Amino acid sequence: MSSTLVRVSRESHSILKKLTGRTGESMQAILDKAIEVYRRQLFLEETHAAYALLKEDTAVWASVQAERELWDATLSDGLDPSEQWAESGYPIKSTEESR
């Protein structure tokens, strides 16, 4: 993987050194993880702000809610409501099917 030089404060560098000692991971790996966490957090905050704007306009929000209700009807289309699924992603066979 290619890399580039990034300046960090002495305090941040000290924290990174302590984290490498605790985890055994490289500073680059720790920074990569921290940046990904921050990217995801920012995405969720922006999404939250966008939904807050939608909620301010009651007509628009009512439209969003009405569309969600339409889509809710499709959640179980064609599925057997008694069917159970394992964490592996495969259906669990009933005792009757395995006979």
Q: Domain ranges in the chain?
A: 10-71
Which residue type, as a one-letter code, is found at position 90? Y
Instruction: Tell me the two tokens of residue 56.
Output: 């301010």
Determine the Cα–Cα distance for residues 7 and 23; give it in Å rounded to an integer: 22
In this predicted model, what pLDDT tens digit does every residue of 58-73 receive, in sequence order? Answer: 999 999 999 998 888 7
Q: How far apart (Å, rounded) are the C-alpha atoms in residues 16 and 8?
A: 10
Q: Which of 1-10, 23-32, 43-52 has the lowest mean pLDDT?
A: 1-10
Reported confidence tier of residue 98, pLDDT bands at 50, 70, 90: low
* Model pLDDT for residues 28-48, shown as the tens digit of each residue: 999 999 999 999 999 999 999
CB 62 within 8 A of CB 69: no
What mean pLDDT comes out for the span 19-23?
97
Write down the pLDDT at residue 28.
95
Query: Which two tokens mark 70?
Result: 């339409």
Q: 0.85 exceeded by the pTM?
A: no
- Judge whether residue 97 has pLDDT over 60: no
3-state secondary structure of 88: coil
Assigned token pair, 97: 């099917």
